[in-house]
Amino acid sequence: MAARYGLLLLTFLLSPVFAAASVNVTFPAQPPSVALLNTIEDNFIGISWELSSFDSLWGTTVDKQPSAMQNYLHNLISRMSKPLRIRVGGNSMDGSSYVPDQTTPLVLTDPNAYFNDVPVNFGPALFDIMNGMSDKVGAMQFMIGLSMRFPERWNEVLRLAQDTENKLGDRLDAMLLGNEPDLYAGHGERGAYSIKDYVPEIDEVMGLLSNNSLLERPIIGGPTICCTWELDDLFKAGFDEFNYKYYTVQHYPNNICNGENESNTNLTYYLTHANIEGFLEWQKEGVIKAKKQNIPVLLTEYNTVSCGGSKISSTFGAGLWAIDTGLKATTMNYSAIYLHTREHGVQYNLFDPPTPETSTEPGWITGSPYYSALFLSEVADPSGSIVLDLNVNKSNTNQFATVAGYGIYDGSGQNRSGLVLINYASPTQEGDDKTQQFSIPANVTDKISYRILTAPSVTEKTDITWAGQTVGVNGDLQGAQHTESLSCDEGCLIDVPGPGAVLAVFGKIGEQRLFTGNSTIAPLPSDTSGSGVIFKMPPFSLSILVVLAFIFL
């Protein structure tokens, strides 16, 4: 009997994976209407941070910055040729006060504040923290929010702009003038505030900045609207007459501001590729006009459910959605996208320290959206890329499609350079195989190298791997990095686990684009207050399992 079970185990371990009927991938030699498409840089994925919790993640002093955060950021930076995009702002920055002589980065001023709008006093040490982290981990480009909420404080905004530019120098990418002004009236901040009130105020603040030599280079972004105003209506009101570097918007498909409901806890919505275009096209007309003006549009804040996320926000399914949404945004002329993260315990966070007070210790928890950022950081070529939604299995309109696919071209659109393939299908019982084969036709490429992002199910929150690696308690990538390869001259099949996503690159040049090596730069802290040594258990290999099987023979 023991011999029989051992043989069955061995047979199971060595048996091939049987996938569902293959999905045909049609990948045009060139994208249609190249002139109208968007060329993205390899740092198109950025991270947006809420000001009020920033010091709990990046540290309170330059000489004591969390090693975990150093690793989290360097993992991304090492996969890009251009600086990592960092935006610091949000509602908390729009409602906070800049105190030039304050020596600490942040001071909470209202412990009873509404959790979605926590004001602080912040000082120039904030920029020291940002510079200190960049010195440790590599190149970053920063965007800082300038408040439009309180006209009586515009001189304070001027001083903030001056100190920001002086402190950050060339690392300062942009200053975002105002945060979600379309909600000022609804939140009771500015009375009956409308576009006709907003545009003259922009003119006034721009004049103030210009008169103090702060607009000698394009440095302002805005309007950073989220919900009720149309970018196109702002243009009609004269907004496009100002010298903006970026037009910025932010958006979430659902919110939990008033508690859980059927919509904001419905994971199925996020597993349906056909829903994404409707979510992103809310500013379609304005984005088209911005494209004609050659001014990039940035999605400076996105995630699953605003006001802190719901129980679905930390799932692997939400992470796949973040990848799908980020890539779809690039096809709709967004030049960069920023995944938003907030204070400890927010369910859509990319990462969380053990507690807000112990961020310099190990024990960090990595959220599914961080794996999304890792995946996206390897998609684009250093010389630029064009992304095309391939509408595999009619996924743009088919509400029952469980797949999505994107073709990646070089920046000229003349050469195919890779693919992203997504499989949302998830096992419903143990042993249920939801692997999906994608059929790549002949004459697309001679060789494909690919990496897999996967988890046991769409509801999984921690057991996630990217290229065979998982993120440890110190932001470090653990396990052997793994890249599959296959010949594809006459066509080939790529198996994408269910659920999972594959980044496939073409030819030897594509393979060289993938990051190889160890991107961990900061060791475990030696002065932790944790329980002791942290052991890393090496993964079992197939050969070990085979040996165990023969023991029963």
CATH number for the domain harbouring residue 489: 2.60.40.1180
Handedness of CA 373, 78, 344, 177 (dihedral sign): negative
Question: Do residue 187 and residue 280 come from a single domain?
Answer: yes
Q: What is the CATH number of the domain that holds 342?
A: 3.20.20.80
Question: Do residue 373 and residue 394 come from a single domain?
Answer: no
Please check whether residue 526 lies inside any domain of the structure: no
Residues 6+ apart with CB under 8 A from 111: none
Rg (CA), the chain: 24
Question: Do residue 118 and residue 45 come from a single domain?
Answer: yes
Please report the pLDDT score of residue 35 as a whole number. Answer: 60
Question: Do residue 147 and residue 237 come from a single domain?
Answer: yes
Please check whether residue 535 lies inside any domain of the structure: no
Question: Do residue 371 and residue 415 come from a single domain?
Answer: no
Q: Which residues of the chain have pLDDT under 50?
A: 1-19, 527-553
- Of 367, 383, 399, the last residue of a domain is 383
Please report the pLDDT score of residue 508 as a whole number. Answer: 78
Distance of alpha carbon 360 from alpha carbon 381, whole angstroms: 34
Please check whether residue 464 lies inside any domain of the structure: yes
Please report the pLDDT score of residue 207 as a whole number. Answer: 97
Question: Do residue 267 and residue 354 come from a single domain?
Answer: yes
pLDDT tens-place string over residues 344-393 = 999 999 999 999 999 999 999 999 999 999 999 999 999 999 999 999 99
Asked if 523 and 67 touch (Cβ cutoff 8 Å), the reply is yes
Asked if 74 and 137 touch (Cβ cutoff 8 Å), the reply is yes
Asked if 501 and 436 touch (Cβ cutoff 8 Å), the reply is no
Please check whether residue 434 lies inside any domain of the structure: yes
Question: Do residue 137 and residue 256 come from a single domain?
Answer: yes
Distance of alpha carbon 300 from alpha carbon 90, whole angstroms: 10
Termini Cα distance of the chain: 9
Question: Do residue 312 and residue 433 come from a single domain?
Answer: no
Secondary structure class of 460 (helix, strand, coil): coil
Secondary structure tally for the chain: helices H, strands E: 15, 28
Q: Taking the complete model, does pTM exceed 0.85, yes or no? A: yes
pLDDT tens-place string over residues 169-219 = 999 999 999 999 999 999 888 889 999 999 999 999 999 999 999 999 999
Please check whether residue 22 lies inside any domain of the structure: no
Distance of alpha carbon 314 from alpha carbon 317, whole angstroms: 8
Cα angle 444, 446, 449 (rounded to 5 degrees) comes to 100
Nearest to 134 by CA among 69, 193, 202, 188: 69
Distance of alpha carbon 105 from alpha carbon 128, whole angstroms: 8
Please check whether residue 118 lies inside any domain of the structure: yes
Question: Do residue 408 and residue 353 come from a single domain?
Answer: no
Task: Count how many domains the chain has.
Answer: 2
| Range(s) of the domain holding residue 446 | 389-513
Counting beta carbons within 10 angstroms of the beta carbon of residue 517, is it exposed (0 to 12), middle (13 to 18) or buried (19 or more)?
exposed
Nearest to 451 by CA among 386, 511, 530: 511
Please check whether residue 178 lies inside any domain of the structure: yes
Please report the pLDDT score of residue 272 as a whole number. Answer: 98
Please check whether residue 2 lies inside any domain of the structure: no
Distance of alpha carbon 78 from alpha carbon 470, whole angstroms: 16
Question: Do residue 324 and residue 472 come from a single domain?
Answer: no
Asked if 485 and 33 touch (Cβ cutoff 8 Å), the reply is no
Question: Do residue 335 and residue 431 come from a single domain?
Answer: no
Locate 129 and state its tokens: 């923290």
Question: Do residue 133 and residue 160 come from a single domain?
Answer: yes
Phi and psi at 172, nearest 5°, equal -80, 115
